[in-house]
Every structure is written in C-alpha cells, then in structure tokens.
A and B are shown apart, each in its own frame.
Chain A
Amino acid sequence: NAGVTQTPKFQVLKTGQSMTLQCAQDMNHEYMSWYRQDPGMGLRLIHYSVGAGITDQGEVPNGYNVSRSTTEDFPLRLLSAAPSQTSVYFCASTRQGWGYTFGSGTRLTVV
C-alpha cells in the first residue's frame, strides 16, 4: 500500500515549457485534488476531482489542466510554464469521512 505517489520530486523548467506532474493513489479514493504551497500563502487548491471523468476548478486554476480517466491517476499539466508557477505542488486524496492523504510533493522551479 503506497498511498499517494507523486513524480517527479524536483523539476526545473524554462519559461514557456510544458510538463505533466504525475499523481497516483492505490487506496480506491474517489476524491483527488492538487494544491500548491507557497510561503505566506498556505495551501491553495488548483483543481479537484470527485471521481473518474469528473473534474472541477479550485481557487487558482489558471495555467493548469487536469484529467481523471481512472480512479487511481490524476495528472496535472502545466500548459506554458511561468515563473509565477514556481512552487511546491501536492496531490491529495480522500474518501468520504476520512482525512486527506497527501503525496510527498513536487518542487518546481520555472526560470
């Protein structure tokens, strides 16, 4: 039982490049979400999904896309990286009535 697995752990991108942050969970959780964490800003919700085929925007969705083709996977795509997207990204999952399980994070730097 691995929990929530995020890859890569570290990434450096050039402005304008695109990439996908991977997130996979093996707990059969229906709810998955992506957060970014910045100093002084706390955790901010980017996108979330309540089940396969269903996604919705959080509070800071601009510049990011998601899809949920399976219960296990919830990738986050950066369309055209900008320095403002330099952050630590966390994927989290949960099922009804339980606390969220977080991945170990991806530290992204956009230069």
Chain B
Amino acid sequence: EDQVTQSPEALRLQEGESSSLNCSYTVSGLRGLFWYRQDPGKGPEFLFTLYSAGEEKEKERLKATLTKKESFLHITAPKPEDSATYLCAVQATGNNRKLIWGLGTSLAVNP
C-alpha cells in the first residue's frame, strides 16, 4: 500500500538552530515528491518538487533532498517566520496525478 510518513510530528527550535524534517515513503513507482508549507487558517503553499533520487532543491533557508526511500527538508538558521506546518506528498506513477499525503510536521521557531 502506498504510504507517506512524516517525522517528527512537532519540532520546536530556537532561532538560528538548524534541523531537518523527514518524509519516508512507500510507493510502487515514484513520479514526484512534493513539499508544502501550511500556515494556520490557510491553504498549503507549494515549495518544491523532487523527481529522482539524488535531486536537491533550495529556496532561501530551505533545502529539500530525495533518496529512494525518503526525503529531507533541511532548515538552515531558521527564523520565527519559518514557523508553519510542513507537508510532504508523493505522486505514484500511473495514478492520474493523485497525491498521497503525510500528516505533516508542525514547526515552531522561537525568537
């Protein structure tokens, strides 16, 4: 069964304290892995798409990496405005663009 598991469920960091969020996935064939950011009361906001093992993408303090079993979202020197829930989703091959979602990691960055 296709599945996405995110860890930890919640993470509290001090401003400037770098860390990583994990997204483990089980899927028959990977078409793409997506990272989203969701602020309270808002819809998810697209961050990155990764397509193949070894691929990396960066945006400001965020860097996403992908292996054959998991993806990491590295947050370097986070700021309070990085506080949000980060969602991971995978799209399997042949499933008509449907996404399989993880439950997210709630990140709080204290000033």
Residues of chain A at the chain B interface (Cβ within 8 Å):
4, 31, 33, 40-45, 48, 50, 56, 58, 90, 92, 94, 96, 98-105
Distance between Cα atoms of A99 and B46 in the complex (Å): 6
Q: What residue of chain B has the Cβ atom nearest to residue A99's Cβ?
A: B46
Q: How many residues of B contact A (CB 8 A)?
A: 21
Contact A104–B49 (Cβ < 8 Å):
no
Distance between Cα atoms of A43 and B100 in the complex (Å): 9
| CB<8 Å pairs between A and B, sample of 30 | A33-B98, A42-B101, A42-B104, A43-B44, A43-B87, A48-B96, A48-B98, A58-B98, A90-B43, A90-B44, A92-B43, A94-B97, A96-B97, A99-B34, A99-B36, A99-B46, A99-B47, A99-B48, A99-B49, A100-B34, A100-B36, A100-B44, A100-B99, A101-B46, A102-B44, A102-B45, A104-B42, A104-B43, A105-B41, A105-B43
Cβ of B102: which chain A residues have Cβ within 8 Å of it?
42
| A31-B97, A42-B104 known; A105 vs B42 contact (CB < 8 Å) | yes
| A99-B46, A105-B42 known; A45 vs B34 contact (CB < 8 Å) | no
> Contacts A43-B101, A100-B34 given; 6 further ones with Cβ under 8 A?
A42-B102, A45-B98, A48-B97, A50-B96, A99-B48, A99-B49
Majority SS at the chain A contact face: strand
The number of inter-chain residue pairs (CB within 8 angstroms) is 52
Cβ of A103: which chain B residues have Cβ within 8 Å of it?
43
Cβ of B87: which chain A residues have Cβ within 8 Å of it?
42-43
Q: What residue of chain B has the Cβ atom nearest to residue A107's Cβ?
A: B41
Distance between Cα atoms of A45 and B97 in the complex (Å): 12
Q: What residue of chain A has the Cβ atom nearest to residue B98's Cβ?
A: A45
B62 at the interface (CB under 8 A from A): no
Complex interface residues of chain B between 74 and 111 (CB less than 8 A to chain A): 87, 89, 96-99, 101-104
